[in-house]
């Protein structure tokens, strides 16, 4: 596989690899982030529920305010956890879905252009549907 310039595939391979950016493996700990997201979601919900119980079982306004703060913290944790979980669980699926969508669109465009090419533009008949 030698190109016109005399460059072999192996040469191009070495060249492409030299330009390859290798990310820090620690930055790509998808599973870890996924688990953290799920844990935060569950923990946040549990926290919110327990905060409700805390504030409900006391008449002391200070304790009730603690419960409020705890509940808000729980909700915030759930939101962050859900965001993390979605980010790392759905991206793989969505990437494939998008590839499939663009492929289907390309096929559709091909069919339409083939149909237009077949249709005689000088004819008065409408294009077949």
Partner 1 sequence: MNALLELRGIRAAHDGITVLHGVDLHVRAGQVVALLGPNGAGKTTTLRVAAGLHPAQSGRLLLGGRDVTGADPRDLARAGVCLIPEGRGVFPNLSVRDNLLMMTFTGRTRAEIEDIAYGRFPALARRRSQAAGTLSGGEQQMLALARGLATDPAVLLLDELSMGLAPLIVARLYDQVAEIARQGVAVLIVEQFAAAVLGIADHAAVVVRGRVERQGRPDGGLRDELSALYLGSSA
Q: Which residues are at the interface with partner 1 (CB under 8 A)? A: 1-2, 8-10, 12-14, 16-18, 20-25, 28, 99, 103, 106
C-beta of 18 vs 122, nearer to partner 1: 18
C-beta of 65 vs 115, nearer to partner 1: 115
Cα torsion for 108, 110, 115, 121, to the nearest 10°? 120
Q: How far is the CB of 96 from partner 1 (least distance, A)?
A: 11
Cα torsion for 49, 52, 57, 60, to the nearest 10°? 140
Strand partners, 8: 2
Q: How far is the CB of 13 from partner 1 (least distance, A)?
A: 4
Q: How far is the CB of 86 from partner 1 (least distance, A)?
A: 21
Helix, strand, coil shares of the chain, percent, nearest 5, are: 75, 0, 20
């Amino acid at each position: 596989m030698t190109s016109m310039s005399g460059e072999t595939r192996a040469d191009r391979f070495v060249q492409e690899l030299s330009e390859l950016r290798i990310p820090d493996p620690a930055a790509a700990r998808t599973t870890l982030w996924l688990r953290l997201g799920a844990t935060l979601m569950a923990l946040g919900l549990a926290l919110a529920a327990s905060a409700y119980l805390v504030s409900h079982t006391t008449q002391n306004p200070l304790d009730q305010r603690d419960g409020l703060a705890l509940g808000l913290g729980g909700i915030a944790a759930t939101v962050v956890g859900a965001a993390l979980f979605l980010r790392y669980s759905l991206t793989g699926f969505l990437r494939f879905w998008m590839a499939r969508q663009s492929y289907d669109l390309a096929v559709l465009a091909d069919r339409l252009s083939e149909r237009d090419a077949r249709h005689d533009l000088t004819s008065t008949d409408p294009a077949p549907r």
